[in-house]
């Protein structure tokens, strides 16, 4: 199988190296910036790849939505299978790209876009053929997990922990997408699209970690508890929910053992029960290993992870009732049995009145 790669950054280089070593695979061309064009296999225009009759599959590791979407479309239209590690692209245009792939009878896979090396989308995709997926979620963002565990285990304050994450390359100069929970939310959207053929795009509830403080870390630690940022989605008779929020877990819970930049994803099948998966959620070779698994699946004829019937939906987070730890201007309290929608709305209202608010679900 002959593969061209879009992007030659952290993941792209790893993918390139792994393809060179893989049985039955070879690299055709790599799309790079003009300044990087130093090898004969490197090209600087997407046309050189879409028009290359010997490219069977294109791997995209550029990130960002544009021009990734335009490139994906033109590759699929040219009849090439498309494998991507780009969660923003799939969350925004996955349905359109799947339709194009189906039209051209080629593959569209994106395992590496959720959980890095952790084969969670792959396993949900396989399991859902013979089992019914009830819910899924997890600790899906290594940056925020690093910040949270660094604050709780090492007594750092938020600024110090974030700065250290940036120094180590775990957080970007602008960390908003991570700390706001948006990155986790996009992964939840992909989990839902693969699990339920439903891409939730409206009425999402997304709370990040920007309001977590050293005082809150001390408070939960004194009680033998620990905070993690988690995403959740599930399908019930009443609808589909999809939300992201901090969660308080006991020190004996699996989630409490997920430290630093490790990810933990899980799903629950009607028959299989709870299946948890942990591993590196990012990094050159871990992410490349997930891309290579997809390439191997393309070789075996796997076409898609989301069904052709996948549709955009409104989430209904009013159907989920949780209990929460709440901290308003430094005062701690608990709220029992409130819907996710109402909790997120309440926090927003309090903030509009000028209060500093942190809340975290008490894990059932």
What secondary structure letter does DSSP report for 22?
S
| Of the residues 14, 94, 208, 239, which one makes contact with a second copy according to CB under 8 A | 14
Alpha helices in the chain (DSSP H): 10-21, 47-50, 68-77, 87-104, 120-127, 142-154, 158-167, 176-179, 182-196, 214-222, 284-299, 340-352
Tokens of 218: 């001390």
3-class DSSP state for residue 144?
Answer: helix
Q: Which residue has the tokens 């950054």?
A: 9
The H or E element spanning position 280 is strand 273-280
Name the residue nearer to a second copy (CB basis): 97 or 297. 297
Min. distance of Cβ 254 from a second copy in angstroms?
4
314 is catalytic: no
| Of the residues 2, 13, 18, 197, which one makes contact with a second copy according to CB under 8 A | 18
Q: Residue 327's closest CA among 243, 218, 242?
A: 218
| Of the residues 27, 72, 165, 277, which one makes contact with a second copy according to CB under 8 A | 277
Min. distance of Cβ 276 from a second copy in angstroms?
4
Size of the site for a second copy (CB under 8 A): 49
- Pick the piece of the chain touching a second copy (CB under 8 A) from 20-28, 89-97, 198-206, 353-361: 20-28
Q: Which of residues 195-254 bind a second copy (CB under 8 A)?
A: 251-254
| Of the residues 285, 318, 319, 342, which one makes contact with a second copy according to CB under 8 A | 285
Q: 234: which strand partners?
A: 135, 241
Contacts of 326 by beta carbon, 8 Å cutoff, 6+ apart: 332, 333, 334, 335, 357, 358, 359
Cα torsion at 185, 287, 3, 296 (round to 10°)?
A: -90
Min. distance of Cβ 146 from a second copy in angstroms?
16
Q: Which of 80, 87, 187, 235 is catalytic?
A: 187
Q: Calculate the alpha carbon distances from 119 to 23, 104, 290, 305 in Å.
A: 21, 26, 7, 12
Q: Which of residues 302-361 bind a second copy (CB under 8 A)?
A: 302
Cα gap 210→142, rounded to integer Å: 15
How many Cβ atoms sit within 10 Å of the Cβ of residue 83? 27
- Pick the piece of the chain touching a second copy (CB under 8 A) from 66-74, 112-120, 310-318, 349-357: 112-120
Min. distance of Cβ 337 from a second copy in angstroms?
27
Min. distance of Cβ 58 from a second copy in angstroms?
17
Min. distance of Cβ 278 from a second copy in angstroms?
4
Is residue 364 close enough to count as binding a second copy by CB under 8 A?
no
Strand 2-6 with 57-60, pairing: parallel
Site string for a second copy, 115-134 (x = CB under 8 A): --xxx--xx--xx-xxx---
Site residues (vs a second copy, CB under 8 A): 14, 18, 22-23, 25, 117-119, 122-123, 126-127, 129-131, 251-254, 256-259, 269-280, 283, 285-286, 288-290, 292-293, 295-297, 300-302
**Catalytic residue ranges:** 187
């Amino acid at each position: 199988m002959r593969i061209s790669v879009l992007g030659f950054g952290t993941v792209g280089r790893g993918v390139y190296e792994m393809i060179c070593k893989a049985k039955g695979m070879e690299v055709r061309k790599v799309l790079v910036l003009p300044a990087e064009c130093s090898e004969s296999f490197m090209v600087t225009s997407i046309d050189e790849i879409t028009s290359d009759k010997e490219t069977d599959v294109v791997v995209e590791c550029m990130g960002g939505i544009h021009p990734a979407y335009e490139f994906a479309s033109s590759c699929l239209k040219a009849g090439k299978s498309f494998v991507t590690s780009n969660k923003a692209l799939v969350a925004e245009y996955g349905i359109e790209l799947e339709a194009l792939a189906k039209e051209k009878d080629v593959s569209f896979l994106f395992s590496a876009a959720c959980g890095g090396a952790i084969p969670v989308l792959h396993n949900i995709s396989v399991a859902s053929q013979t089992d019914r997926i009830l819910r899924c979620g997890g600790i899906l963002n290594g940056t925020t997990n690093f910040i949270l565990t660094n604050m709780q285990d090492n007594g750092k304050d938020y600024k110090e922990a974030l700065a250290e994450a940036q120094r180590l390359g775990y957080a970007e100069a602008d960390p908003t997408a991570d700390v706001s929970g948006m990155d986790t939310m996009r992964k939840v959207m992909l989990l839902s699209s693969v699990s339920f053929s439903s891409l939730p795009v409206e009425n999402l509830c997304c709370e990040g970690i920007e309001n977590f403080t050293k005082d809150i870390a001390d408070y939960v630690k004194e009680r033998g508890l620990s905070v993690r940022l988690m995403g959740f989605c599930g399908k019930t008779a009443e609808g589909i929910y999809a939300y992201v929020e901090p969660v308080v877990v006991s020190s004996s819970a699996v989630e409490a053992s997920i430290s630093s930049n490790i990810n933990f994803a899980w799903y629950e099948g009607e028959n299989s029960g709870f299946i948890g998966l942990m591993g590196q959620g990012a990094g050159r070779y871990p992410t490349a290993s997930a891309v290579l698994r997809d390439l191997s699946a393309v070789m075996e004829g796997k076409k898609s992870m989301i069904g052709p019937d996948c549709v955009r939906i409104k989430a209904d987070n009013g159907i989920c009732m949780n209990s929460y730890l709440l901290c308003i201007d430094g005062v701690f309290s608990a709220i029992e049995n409130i819907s996710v929608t109402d909790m997120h709305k309440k926090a927003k209202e309090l903030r509009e009145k000028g209060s500093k608010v942190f809340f975290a679900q008490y894990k059932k």
